[in-house]
Chains A and B, each alone.
Chain A
C-alpha cells in the first residue's frame, strides 16, 4: 500500500489552512494518507477528519517545544520511516521550505519544492512546479524510493469530506544535540496580512505617482480583506518595504484574486503573480502588457478609478 505522510502545523485550536490544503492534495492522489502533528495537541488534529484524514501521528517529546527546524526535520524523518511512507508532503510556506530539504537529505529522498499539481501515475507521483518564477512549468518525478514534496500554498483548495480519524502517539528520539539552531523570537507584522498568506492581494505600481497615494491601495485591500503588494519599482523608490514586493526578485504568489493597479506588467512582475486565479488590471495605458494576463481590465487613471471602485465594492459587500 502506497503511503503519504503529511506534515501538519497547528494554528490556534486547529490546523493552518495550508495543512488542510496539503491533506486534500495528498488524499486526491489516492494514496493512504497519514498526518503528523509535532506542534500541537490532539484537539488540533480533530479538524482534519472533516478533510478526509483517517490517521494521524501525534509526535510527543519535550524538546519539540524548542522551535528548531533540525528537530522538526528529525521527527518527520523518523515518522516517515515508522509509517513506511513513500512520500512526505508539507506546505511550501517558510517553515516547510526550511524543514523539507533537511528531511529529504535524512531520507536520501528526491525533493520537489513548490508543487502546483500532483498526478498519480503507475505507482509514482508526477508533480508540476513553476521554474523561472513561473515563466515555465516543469513536470518532475522523483527517482528515489522515497520522495519529499512541498506544496505551494493557496493552489490546492482544501475540500471537506468526512472520515473517521484515529490518532496515534508517536515518540521520536530527539537529543539536545539536534537543537543547534532555535527560534528565540518572532515578530509578526501586526494587523498586516502578508502577501504570501493572502487570498486577495491589491498591488500598486508606479502609476500611483507618489508614496502617499498608496492609501488608495490600502483602502481597497481593506474593503476586500486582502493584503497590500507592490511592484519592484515602488519598492526600489523606497515607497514600500521589500516584504511586499511581488515578482521574480520578490515573492511569488497565487491568490484567488489579484489586483494590479498602475502596474505596467514587466516580465519580472508577471512571473510573480501569473498563477493567480483571477487577475484584475487597472492601467491608463491600454497597451500595457498587464492586460494580456488579466481576466478583467479597466483602462483609466488609477487615481480616479480606485476611490470609485473601492466605494462600489464597499456597497456590494455591505461594508
Chain B
C-alpha cells in the first residue's frame, strides 16, 4: 500500500514537473518566435507554405466537421424544443453554440491532431537526423526558419478555419432544419441573424487565434525536445505529447477565454 502511494506521488510529481517545464518552454519559445515575427525576421516563403499545408490543407476536413456538427445539433435541439413548440429557437441555439464554442474548440482539436502532430513529427525527425544541428552549424536560426513561420501561420490561419466551420455548421443546421424538420427558411435565417452579434464572431476568431498559437508552440516545443539518443521512438513520444498537451491546453484556454469574453460581450 505504502509503496503504491509512493509510486503514485512520484508519478504526480513527475507529471507536475513535466507540465511546468512544458509551460516554461512554451513561454520561452513564444517570446522568441513572436520577437522574430514582430521584427519581420522570419522566413516568408515558409510562412506561405505552412499556411497552404496546415490551413488550406485542413479546409475540407473542417468544412465536413462543421457541416456534420451543425446538422447533428439541429437534430438534437429540435427534438427537445419541439416538446415546447419552440423548434425555431433551434436555429438561435445552434448559431450561438457554434460561433461561441463548438467552432473554435472543435477546429482547434482537429488542428491539434492534424497540424500539431505534423509539426512535432517534422521537427522531431529533423532533430534526430541532426538537421537542426546542421542549421545551427550554418548559422541559420531554427526559430526564424522553422518555428516563427509555423506559429504565425497557425495563429493567423486558425481564425479563418473557425469562420469556415461556422458557415459550414450554419449550412448543415439549415439543411436539416428546413428540409428535415420543416422549419420555414425565412424563420430559420431570421432566428440565426437575430441571435448573433458581430462580437460573437470576433470572439470565436479570437479563440481560434489563441488556439492556433498554442497548437504551433506546443508542437514546436515537443519536436525540439526530441532526444536524438532515443531515435525514432522519441519522435513518436513527441508527436503524441504534442497532440495531448495541445488538446488539454485548448480546453483550459477555452474556459479562461470564455470567462473573459462573456464579461466583455454579455
A binds B: no
Q: Which A residues fall within an 8 A CB radius of B? A: none
